[in-house]
Homo-oligomer: A and B are copies of this chain.
Amino acid sequence: MASFIDRLRQASREANSLVCVGLDVNPASMPLTIQRHLNPILDFNKAIIDATADVVCAYKPNLAFYEQLGPAGMEILAETVKHIPRGKIIIADAKRGDIGNTAKAYAKALFEVYGFDAATVSPYLGRDSLQPFLDYTDKGIFVLCKTSNPGSAEFQNLAVKSEDGVVRPLYEVVADRVTSWNEHGNCGLVVGATYPDELTRVRRIAPDLPILIPGIGAQAGDLEASVKNGVDANGELALITSSRAIIYASASDDFDLAARRAAIALRDAINRIRMVGRGDQ
């Protein structure tokens, strides 16, 4: 059976795309006409998915936006996941991290109940806390490494001294450890597009892991540096995430077509950058 990383690579190749669409629903940002639907958010998500599926490789619903809608939001989440075509990678942006039985329950919720292919998780509690996720050998985890927020250095860049006296930032230690957890081809990392230099260092530590890269667009991350520094030696395994810039590309009834245009533009911009990168080699 193909590993998670193989499936991700396959999804990218089929769409010739490193684009991952963040499905971060915000009812107030949706077109007025769809706001009058019986189930506006689900209909909005379905329209976005239908309009973009052939030009992207992954979708990433962020659980917070569904949780803030109460139990009904979780119904919308479940239906949204079901609507995403086979072959696409569906990532639960959940940033979970807990221990023992609880971690097992989170993994079950995300992978079995809601049917995600992968989840973002926090490293702080250590590998044993993520073992229940890793035990789903056909599913993936993306471990938070260097996040895109302005304050991510507070802990992630602390200087860690190892037993042999080497000093390096915490996020590099995380990248190193996660590489050693990747026994089943099911581990990845999260590095923000706002930190292109750190992305280079992480890619060097983890040459074979997929890297999920949020922070393009609203957070003003650097696309060119993110692609150049984020892809593996084959120009693959970087997932460039965009949410608002795609799903709210238009506030009018043409929102789905606008989303498609935005997704294609991002895909093509990324592909130009990675082609140049490969031409240089």
Contact = CB atoms under 8 A, between A and B. Distances in A.
Interface string A57-76: 00000101101111110110
Given A67-B113, A126-B154, A128-B150, 14 more contacts: A64-B105, A67-B105, A68-B113, A69-B113, A70-B114, A95-B96, A95-B122, A97-B97, A123-B155, A124-B155, A124-B156, A126-B152, A127-B154, A159-B161
Contact of A126 (B65, B108, B127, B155): B155
Interface in A143-166: 144, 147-156, 158-162
B153 A113 contact: no
A264 interface: no
Contacts of A113: 67-70
Given A97-B97, A102-B24, A149-B126, A158 B173 contact: yes
A148 B99 contact: yes
Contacts of A174: 155
Q: What is the copy number of this chain in the assembly?
A: 2
Contacts of A67: 74, 105-106, 109, 113
A98 B64 contact: yes
A245 to B, nearest CB: 14
Contacts of A167: 161
A219 B219 CA distance: 42
Interface of A: 24, 62, 64-65, 67-72, 74-75, 78, 93, 95-103, 105-106, 108-109, 112-114, 122-129, 144, 147-156, 158-162, 167, 170, 173-174, 177, 219
A97 B149 CA distance: 12
For A98, A114, A127, the residue with the greatest tally of chain B CB atoms inside 10 Å of its CB is A98
A252 B31 CA distance: 54
A64 B106 contact: yes
Contact of A98 (B72, B95, B151, B162): B95
